[in-house]
Structure 1
């Protein structure tokens, strides 16, 4: 017989038995397959839940439920298929053996779930478990076949019997692997794959059963009576078994889904708790980062302002006093520039420790950024603030080992007092900052308390800064005064030094000392220098057109302007726009400006000098230049600072210094200008020493262009100065030319003070 690809044996035994022809009810076979599929899906779901719980009691529950689903599915398929088996004889089933077959299948299912419950499984574990489970399925099947009660005898083909065992073991191995694979995962694709795996597993169980049935042959012995089937209740019994099995599977699947949802919610809740914990940690970290300095672990500006506001309210209520101290490390930039920022960071850590060690535990120490620190302390009188500042300054004098060097740092401190110097955080901090700048202006390594004069000065400087910016932008109010420079060899005016003035609408004519520092501090000095350069070239061109073509103009150049690579092109543009030759311009730079970045400065000065522009070094002797660098600089002129000439002839030491500078300059092939000449003794001494040019109030004060032209015309009509001086002999003025005797500046004496730049 052939049914669903199964061929029944037709060979007669040698003793002459009769082979019965059997068939299957197709509807029950399909029902058995569906029941097996449901049991397989339930088993995979139980295996999945088994690996998502950690509690031993819960694991045992899922193992038991999974074993029932697997055993129920396999046993129900076997029993329904047996009910679908239709033989032409009366067939009954023995209840005891049928129950034994179910118990065996339950044991096999328990073994399968125990295997899947292990976290770590190797290949040999799968093979051992699959063999045991497969043998259990085979035992269940053949015990169930033995439970058949009829007149026929069962015979099995050995090869097919072994084949059924092999199919059972293979099916068990496949079931274990699929269950192991589907332990984890979620989503629609995971569910679809699990449905397919359930059908595949049910097919394997189905194949195991029918391979066993294929191995069996029913034979009625000769002479035996054949009892035909009377009643057929296989359909009702099959439906009952199927219903019970499906109910168990559905209940198990429902329980698995409910547990999965519950566990998912618990997992989400744990994730929410973890996220909340992480948010709390992040909030604490952000608060730490927002209110503390990462380098020194001191509070930062924001944290300080918060504490400051609280302390201010407290002291206002108690009518107490507070001191706010601003600290700035003197010359800290040199550390970063010479040793690097890493060394600077290490130094800041040490300094922060020094400040903390010098303060009290209740004092607030903050780092505002860079090398700026701030201290907030409660006190009873102003002297307590002074003593605290002095303790800090004394602590700072302790040597610091840094990058293989031993150094001592100093600090400048500014102090404001609540309530004397202000009642708000902003006002007290601003006033402490003003006091700090006062300490820096006093030579650093000092402390200063705020006073109203500083506030007035700061307000005035801020106003002047805004008005200077507008004056440069609109070219309104700025003026150039020119001071003649006399050639001692010819007795004539050879050069004009351009000195900027500011005709302020409220404060009148301001000298450079009032606004040059403001321009340097606020980035306006370069624009101011270039403005003076352009207008000085234009004024000299105007003088040249009026018959003064032999003059040259000297223009001051600040350190910031000298650091610009564009300076050479800007000088060329100014000369071109004015129509001057480069030989008519001379740039004056100070020693400190030259020493700022000596290598780039030398290259820039060579480019400017290559155009034909002369270069002079101003205020020589007051800076930090060395002869080694001086001989490399492309200079033409050296200007001796007025501080070396003002005590001549009273100071023999100054006379010797001036004489040495002149000799040195001539040795380096440099011409010499001496500024600040205010007496006839000074003039005579310089002429006797071979100085090339002189400049000062004795000869002429700085004059605006309108007053300068008549003076130049008058000087050109006079005879050249006599230069064959006798050796210096005090204050003999008998051989000085009448030009100076008639000069109003000469008659005014030496009491006039020469303005700066």
Structure 2
């Protein structure tokens, strides 16, 4: 036998018969090899499509197309190789047997594809599929060879026959294993691996064919007559079979490639849709975050303004009314300070639900603007409807709320403005509702007020005062200090001076602190104003010191809002350093309510100030919490009794007992006592009798400007309190 033109088996005889020699056309063999490789490549494409198919029907279609491509390619390769077989004898083929071999190849290929695609792909299943597929290839080969009819005799070498079967099974198993591992690769590695498998599988199938041909021995006919070699030209048929097979294989690869591109585009489209869906969800989440309060799930200020604008246009076109209601929870800060912010958040959730339940329908818009401030927007036909809703909310708020093991009853202050009576724009209506809310707070809280024109005038006046106050502080003109002496009852001499700020307004004349302090607090000016007073008082006392008043100290009031600023200690130290005063000659006065606003932070700040050597006094004692607990915790030096306890002495025995108890308590805690508002001889005598340390009031001296202070101090210290003629003193002090 000849392999690609070489003799495989030399001349031999068997039973007197001559062993025939044969050869193969090398060009047709190469053509057969290319057909086999193309069939394997097409099968891998079909396998990929079947693996990626999402529908069972599509998976089945690709599986059968792959099996048909593989079977057709192997059969065409075998047929072309048989046409490449060149023998000196006249050979013809049985068409029925040849077609039958094709069905054998198709069946074995279908089984192999099924084994690869049916999960799970176990080693045992692969061995079984390789055995079936290998047997199918060998069966197709030998059935196809049996279709070859001639006058020669055929015999097969059993060893080579078994070898062809073994190679077929081993090659099938290796190919199936490589095809299965192909699913784990991608990119250039995937393409390289796929072409490598195609070439290796094509070579293995071709090897099985030629080993089978090698196993076949042909002998001369029995009569021993030697026939002349017949030249058979099968080029035309071989090329026709190859062309048809390659066209069929190409026609199967083309839709596979198209399907792959379509599937990739479909996957891309799904990814785009998924991204769009995620984008919509993100947009909805951002919309929720941007327009809703995360704690109460109510609309926030931004969402409220958007709905407000829509409703305002609607009500303006209908010539109907619209109400804006501001709500502020009374003394809510105490909840955060006493029970913590978590408890405060839980309380806000309950309050939000109560407010929502008191509204009329879904058209009413309830929003949380921040903190404990809520706003309601609703349609109405008369102002009385707004009043009724506000009263319903106030009544609902009075229902007990269980929080942290306590039953609480909260109240609210409400301000209302109405469109179109109180304004035509969002800003106007919100500002006017806010002004009405502040009027409710000033009226003692737990009340409701509608906006009125006098509120606007008051707001305009306060705005003007705010601007002018800012200019007065920056330009250092208009503001000045009055000083009221504080007498030591033991020595009868002036021991301290209380610094009291005044403002000489260009239009309204001399203004006391009650006219502008609350404006400074509401507009963030109080820290600057307190610092101005502190520095001015230290400078004035330094001037008095230069005049010889070295034993007098000065008391400066500190606002509650300023007391929470950590910068206060540095500002006090800076004022002392710039004036050159000793820290012990400065005393800061703070109110009870300021101390209890945030007792932990306040206590820490006061200890920092006390560490500088500055004295600390609690002002207006008795009007706030009056708790021994915080008196023990805070580094205080002095306690000042409010004037409200002195006014009715000696007519009120109850006030006398209260003052006496306060003095005893303060002395027990090693605190000195100052009583302010002393205006009568009887009050002075009572305080002197019960060992009050210091007194302050119009009986002894009114507050005077700094320019008059030196002369006043000289006059006051000429006489002690024991020998003082009060009638003479009062005339001179005026």
TM over 0.5: yes
Residue 629 of structure 1 deviates from its aligned partner by: 3.5
Deviation at 1:269, TM superposition (A): 4.2
CA distances 1:593-621 after superposition (whole Å, capped 9, x unpaired): 33344455455545544554333222121
Say which SS state the counterpart of residue 558 (structure 1) adopts: coil
Tell me the alpha carbon deviations over residues 563-620 of structure 1, each in whole angstroms, 9 at most, x when there is no partner.
Answer: 4455445434322322222332222222233334445545554554455433322212
Partner of 1:165: 165
Are residues 213 and 474 of structure 1, via their aligned partners in 2, closer, same or farther at CA, if it must alter by over 3 Å?
farther
8 A Cα contact 2:91 2:149, kept in partner: yes
String of CA shifts for 1:70-129, please: whole Å, max 9, x gaps.
112111211222222233333332323222222222222333334444354333322222
2:22 matches 1:22: yes
Give the corresponding residue for 2:644.
Answer: 643
Report the CA distance shift for 1:575/1:198 in structure 2 as closer, same or farther (over 3 A).
same
Tell me the TM-score normalized by structure 1.
0.89
User: Per the alignment, do residues 600 and 296 of structure 1 end up closer, same or farther by CA in structure 2, a change over 3 Å counting?
Assistant: closer
Q: Secondary structure at the match of 1:674?
A: strand
CA separation in 1, counterparts of 2:317 and 2:508? 44
In structure 2, C-alpha distance between the alignment counterparts of 1:5 and 1:469, rounded to whole Å: 112
Distance 1:159 1:330, change over 3 A: farther
Q: Does 1:129 align with 2:129?
A: yes
The corresponding residue for 2:91 is: 91
**Structure 2 counterpart SS, 1:722:** helix
Question: Is the 2:616–2:637 Cα contact (8 Å) retained in structure 1?
Answer: yes
- Structure 2: gaps (5+ residues): none
Q: Please give the per-residue CA displacement for 1:435-493, whole angstroms capped at 9, x wherever unaligned.
A: 12222222222111111222223333333334434443443432111111223333332
Report the equivalent of 2:148.
148
The residue that corresponds to 2:371 in the other structure is: 370
Relative distance call for 1:303 and 1:121 in structure 2 (3 A) is same
In 1, Cα distance between the equivalents of 2:165 and 2:408?
90
User: In the alignment, does 2:544 pair up with 1:555?
Assistant: no
Residues 168-187 of structure 1 deviation map (CA, whole Å, 9 limit, x = unaligned): 12232334344444568765
Q: 1:126 to 1:609 in 2, by over 3 A?
A: closer
Match of 2:535 in 1: 534
Seen in structure 2, the aligned counterparts of structure 1 residues 425 and 679 have a Cα distance that, compared at 3 Å, is: same
Correspondence list, 1:471-490, <5 A: 471-490=472-491
After superposition, where does 1:224-303 map in structure 2 within 5 Å?
A: 224-303=224-303
**TM-fit CA distance, 1:319:** 2.5
Q: 1:364 to 1:566 in 2, by over 3 A?
A: closer
Query: Partner of 1:409 in structure 2?
Result: 410
More divergent stretch after superposition (690-699 vs 595-604) = 595-604
Maintained 8 Å contact 1:591/1:625: yes
Determine the structure 1 residue equivalent to 2:102.
102
Match of 1:743 in 2: 732
Contact 1:104 1:140 in 2 (8 A): yes
Between the aligned partners of 2:603 and 2:268, the Cα distance in structure 1 is 71
Q: Render the CA deviation track for 1:282-340: whole Å, top value 9, x for unaligned.
A: 55454444444344333333333233233323322332222211112223333334444
CA distance in 1, matches of 2:353, 2:99: 85
- For residues 582 and 258 of structure 1, the distance between their equivalents in structure 2, rounded to whole angstroms, comes to 91
3-state SS of the aligned residue for 2:721?
coil
Residue 65 of structure 1 is matched in structure 2 by 65
| CA distance in 1: counterparts of 2:49 and 2:613, whole angstroms | 93
Give the C-alpha shift of residue 678 in structure 1: 2.4
The Cα shift of 1:8 comes to 3.1
> 1:619-658 alignment to 2 at 5 Å?
619-658=620-659
- What residue number does 1:357 align with? 357
**Pair 541,2 (structure 1): closer, same or farther in 2 beyond 3 Å:** same
Q: Superposition pairs for residues 38-49 of structure 1, below 5 Å?
A: 38-49=38-49
Which whole-Å CA distance do the structure 2 matches of 1:565 and 1:367 have between them? 30
SS at match of 2:27: helix
Q: How does 1:140-539 map to 2 (within 5 A)?
A: 140-182=140-182, 187-220=187-220, 223-361=223-361, 362-539=363-540
Distance 1:289 1:581 in 2: 54
* Alpha-carbon contact 2:699-2:726 (below 8 Å) kept: no
Q: Judge conservation of contact 1:595–1:625 (CA < 8 Å) in 2.
A: no
2-structure distance, mates of 1:397, 1:303: 28
Structure 2 equivalent of residue 728 of structure 1: none
Greater alpha carbon shift after TM alignment, 642-651 vs 593-602: 593-602
Q: Secondary structure at the match of 1:51?
A: helix
Q: Structure 1 stretch 82-91 or stretch 276-285: which is displaced more?
A: 276-285
Contact 1:18 1:222 in 2 (8 A): no
Q: Summarize the Cα distance change of 1:613–1:375 in structure 2 as closer, same or farther, 3 Å threshold.
A: closer
Q: Deviations over 1:668-687 (max 9, x none)?
A: 44332221122333333333
Deviation at 1:11, TM superposition (A): 8.4
Does the residue aligned with 2:139 lie in a helix, a strand or coil? helix
Q: Contact 1:592/1:625 (CA < 8 Å) preserved in 2?
A: no
Give the Cα–Cα distance (whole angstroms) in 1 for the partners of residues 40 and 465 of structure 2.
91
Deviation at 1:644, TM superposition (A): 1.1
Q: Give 2:699's aligned residue.
A: 698
Change (3 A) 1:548 1:666: same
1:518, distance to aligned residue in structure 2 (A): 2.7
1:512-561 per-residue CA deviation (whole Å, 9 max, x = no partner) reads 11222233334433332232222212111111212322322112223344
- Kindly indicate whether the alpha-carbon contact (under 8 Å) linking 2:329 and 2:413 is maintained by their aligned counterparts in 1: yes
Task: Give the count of matched residue pairs.
Answer: 733
Bigger mean CA deviation after superposition, 208-217 or 427-436: 208-217
Deviation at 1:258, TM superposition (A): 2.4
TM-aligned CA distance change 1:438 to 1:581, over 3 Å: same
Aligned partners of 2:301 and 2:634: how far apart in 1?
A: 46
Q: Quick check: 1:90–1:228 contact (8 Å CA) kept in 2?
A: no
Is the 2:5–2:25 contact (alpha carbons within 8 Å) kept by the matching residues of 1?
no
Q: Secondary structure in 2 aligned to 1:465?
A: helix
Q: Distance in 2 between matches of 1:263 and 1:497?
A: 87
Alpha-carbon deviation of 1:143? 1.2
Once residues 597 and 320 of structure 2 are traced to their aligned partners in structure 1, the CA distance between those partners, rounded to angstroms, is 48
The structural deviation recorded for 1:36 is: 0.8
Structure 1 unpaired stretches of 5+: 724-734, 746-757
My pick for the range that moved more, 279-288 or 238-247, is 279-288
Q: Give the CA deviation at 1:267.
A: 4.0
Separation of aligned partners in 2, 1:59 and 1:491 = 111
Q: Residues 57 and 682 (structure 1 numbering): CA distance in 2 closer, same or farther, change over 3 Å? A: closer
1:545 aligns with 2:534: no
Helix, strand or coil for the counterpart of 2:575? Answer: helix
Pick which of 263-272 and 315-324 moved more.
263-272
Equivalent position SS for 1:401: strand
